[in-house]
Amino acid sequence: MAHSRATLVEANRFGAVSGAKKRKEREHLGRDFRFVWLSILVSSSGDGMFVTAFPLLAAILTRDPVLIAGITISTRLPWLLFSIFTGAIADRMDRRKLLIGADLVRMVIVGLLGASILLETVAIWQLYVCAFLLGICETLHVNAAQSFIPAIVRQDQLLPANTRFASAQIVSTQFIGPPLGVAMFNVAHSLPFVADAVTFAGSAGLVAAIPDEHAVEKPTTRFRDDVLDGLRYMRDHKALRRLTEILAVINFFYFAAISLLVLYNDDILDGNKATFTALSVGAAVGTVASRFFIQRLVDSKGTTTTMVISMWLWAVATVVMAATSNAYVAIASNVILGVGTGLWLSLNTTLRQQLTPSRMLGRMNAASRTVSWGIVPFGAAFGGIAARVLGLRGPFILSAVSMVLCALIGRRLLRPVELAVNEMEKPDSTSADMVD
């Protein structure tokens, strides 16, 4: 009996050591991923300066909530108009070169805006043009990056890779960049935009340091057919279609509120630039925190349950934001919102990559984002109109109601996703088997 107990203890210990070794190997993502990760960290830090300074600049030029919401519309409209085209491009061309090119073009656009501010010739229409052009470049960069990751890491490394990718992006955009953006804006309104241009140059240099050995397969189909293939694939794949539908609804109501965050900070919270920065930092803190337990949560609760948890976190956070006038409470709610966002986006991206063949990744990512992010301009416009009719708190109340409803029926909504995950975990299954 003693011998059996000792054997069992030794087996458990060996299993724990073996599991720890596998986790360590899974977390070691390699040199190429580190360069991509660093490039995202650098460019997203500049984006954080930009997205903080941009609405502050807009608020100087106008106080009209519809015109303020127009900035978000201009930024996100390219996802509706161009994403399926840039997704097809990402499947036909060298994704490494596309990342470099997108960064260099964005460097020029933001640099010209900084020069216009410096010369005191900037007008609200210039902000719309800048936001629109940057949005086009963003569709290309995001589609290429998310299609590039599966080429530089193993299949079992996709979740930790996407988690680190998302953490770097959100921490930089919402934690590192915003305080720097506010500080620079206070020194000179042009400074955060010039600094953003420099970060794009640095990002392009880091990606250029990656060996040119991850070429895509030479296309054998026409570009016109490729443009529609992603939409067809998403339409025929129940799980991918449902993930996109859920995110589209959430994005519509979320951006109806968040596009007016600068006015929410000023008029409801009676905050200042520091408060506005803290709201973004709070979301970043939550997103980073999610990285440390997402894998354990998935291992213990399962993928779909974790996604339902993220929806409930969103619901709680938006209800609090809609109800409070206290800046500290609003910041705390943004931490909760960030945790939910970190969980959902990491799992959503990983599932798309796992359920989609490599040759289709660019088009599939583009199709999903065309729908889920293409809806954002309509949400922002809805929020601006709702604020005029119902008052500034109105869009936040509507966002809270929608998030609660999604969370209440979350398990039912995610049923096709659960079936796909179960099928994927079968030993002989492939992503192609799960297309209806």
Helix, strand, or coil (residue 414): coil
- Say which DSSP state 105 is in: H
- pLDDT of residue 198 exceeding 90: yes
Residue 392 CB: number of other CB atoms within 10 A? Answer: 18
- pLDDT of residue 19 exceeding 70: no
Most confident of 10-19, 28-37, 77-86, 107-116: 107-116
- pLDDT, residue 164, reads 83
CB–CB of 130/113 below 8 Å? yes
- pLDDT, residue 203, reads 92
**Cα(21)–Cα(412) distance, rounded to whole angstroms?**
36
- Greater confidence, 13 or 271? 271
Provide the whole-model pTM: 0.66
Lowest mean pLDDT among 35-49, 131-145, 268-282: 268-282
Q: 217: part of which helix (H) or strand (E)?
A: none
**Which pair of structure tokens corresponds to residue 253?**
């109501």
Residue 79 CB: number of other CB atoms within 10 A? Answer: 26
- pLDDT of residue 401 exceeding 80: yes
Note the pLDDT tens digit of each residue in 376-391: 888 888 888 888 888 8
- pLDDT, residue 199, reads 93
**Which pair of structure tokens corresponds to residue 357?**
């063949």
Q: What is the mean pLDDT of the chain?
A: 81
Three-point CA angle 28, 32, 37, nearest 5°? 80
The residue written with tokens 């109340």 in the block is 397
Note the pLDDT tens digit of each residue in 258-269: 878 878 888 888
- pLDDT, residue 28, reads 62
Residue 357's closest CA among 216, 165, 228, 221? 216
Note the pLDDT tens digit of each residue in 336-359: 988 988 888 888 888 887 888 877
Span 105-121, average pLDDT: 91
How many CA atoms are closer than 13 Å to the CA of 391, on its beta-carbon side?
5
- Greater confidence, 290 or 429? 290
Would you tell me the crossing angle of helices 303-323 and 415-424 to the nearest 10 degrees?
150
Q: Sorting pLDDT into bands at 50, 70 and 90, what band is 431?
A: very low
- pLDDT, residue 11, reads 44
- pLDDT, residue 202, reads 94
- pLDDT, residue 428, reads 53
- pLDDT, residue 17, reads 45
CB–CB of 173/192 below 8 Å? no
Burial of 203 by CB count in 10 Å (0-12 exposed, 13-18 middle, 19+ buried)? buried
Domains in the chain and their CATH numbers? 29-209+222-434 (1.20.1250.20)
